[in-house]
Amino acid sequence: MVKKFDFLVIGSGIAGMSFALKVAGHGKVALVCKTTLEDANTYFAQGGVASVTNLQVDNFEKHIEDTMIAGDWISDRNAVEKVVREAPSQIQALIDWGVDFDKNENGEFDLHREGGHSEFRILHHADNTGAEIQESLIKAVRKHPNITIFDNHFAIEILTQHHLGIEVTRQTPDIECYGAYVLNIATNEVDTFLSKVTLMATGGCGAVYKTTTNPLVATGDGIAMVYRAKGTVKDMEFIQFHPTALYNPGDRPSFLITEAMRGYGGILRTIDGKEFMQKYDPRLSLAPRDIVARAIDNEMKTRGDDHVYLDVTHKDPEETKRHFPNIYEKCLSLGIDITKDYIPVAPAAHYLCGGIKVDLNAASSIHRLYAVGECSCTGLHGGNRLASNSLIEAVVYADAAAKHSLEHFEEYSYKEEIPEWNDEGTKMNEEMVLISQDVKEVGQIMSTYVGIVRSDLRLKRAWTRLDLLYEETEELFKRVKATRDICELRNMINVGYLITRKAIERKECRGLHYTIDYPKHAYDKE
């Protein structure tokens, strides 16, 4: 079946929904998500949103500098300036959509401070800010008459000149996007969605790792689709591992213990109760995430432990429960009272700083295709994302994509000659065990060889194993009907390959990329 929309939005987190809301007054919008609207990385973001609001002590220059330092000076300053300076107006947009940020008794924002920030500037809603934003946007999206929600729909491929029989390579100058082939999971039919403008907002790729804080839908779909369509990706080697995911073997995804807990005064300790961050950084537990994650990783490997502890037992118990009600309840359900007991934590894959390369308008290298949120690489994060900069980046760039696409979308027409999906000669895959086993293998390969600490030998091993999985999977994909499972596996292998390849190419330690074979940092003196 062919469906036509002015705007096709693939992904339903803060990036996809805020874009949809901003363009829906001007045309018909299809909002495609592969499970439900709630199942997005945004929902699981605990910490909050970074923005300069307290002008008595804070200013844009401080936030810009903090971001540049955290990004190890790889960040694109133009992107950093854009996000920081436009943040307050987009905070107001979120409030207008119903987001309720916590206030103090004076009616001012109750601001938190997180690792790498020089001031208190994190707006939050208790310790479930992402859920508050997600739920508010869902209400607004469901109410809008011009937005059609397609839940349980999975985008397989974006449509380009390739689907008109024209050869498209990475050197082709004017690749255009005409929509996407989308699998209806309920019927197992593949529909053709034609659009004037397509927005990729599919989130990150944490699920390619064995241990992650991301929901398991985060399989890097958008990045893989754009890469296969010969679009440009960038900075894929920079995978942020959250230092403090709750250590509870068998949990997938891992429950996040927010950075705000260290900002609140939490102390990291080894299993025998000793502090250790003083050995690694003068900022102790408030050092940026990459430093803290490597410190924990080193302590665990050196001592042979599978976790460390985070200690907030010295803080006022009632204040702790008030600040972190969800963390308190979750830990209590496992028999851990955080006001009296240490919290067991270990690093987990958390955030991708790279992705689909976009400009200041959120436009990708493929015309008519925008990318926003974690699947995009704006240049804001550089080598390492500053805590709580991601949600604000998503709304700022969704706004930029909306403004730019609204200026141009009426110039575009539908490519009606795109053929419908052809799966003649294929059959339903009865070998599901092959796919589930391969998914586990990808996670194992990435966590073991392309994790927090890397080496040439580990990366080469990952490359070789991913290559074998790629060949096997592509062969299977050609023989069987498209299903979500096999499409996700293809995407995970593609993204794993991109992370590994970019890591091999970077012959230095920089930001989140740490290799024992090239310990010299770009700024180290001879």
How far is residue 298 from each of residues 259, 306, 307, measured CA to CA in Å? 19, 11, 11
Only one residue has tokens 């596996």, namely: 489
Rounded CA separation 381/523 (Å): 18
The Cα 127–Cα 105 span in angstroms is 18
Give the distance, in angstroms, between the CA of residue 189 and the centroid of all CA atoms in the same chain.
28
Query: Among the residues of 482-525, which ranges form H helices?
Result: 484-505
**Residue-wise burial string across 378-397, b where 16 or more C-beta atoms lie within 10 A, e elsewhere:** bbbbbbbbbbbbbbbbbbbb
CA distances from 18 to 122, 158, 396 (A): 20, 21, 10
Contact 259, 217 (CB under 8 A): no
The residue among 373, 261, 257, 243 whose CA lies nearest residue 313 is 261
Expressed in percent and rounded to 5, the helix, strand and coil fractions of the chain are 40, 20, 40
Instruction: Indicate left, alpha or beta for 8 from its phi (over 0: left) and psi (-120 to 50: alpha).
Output: beta
Q: Which residues pair with 269 in a beta bridge?
A: 275, 309
Which residues are known catalytic residues?
A: 289
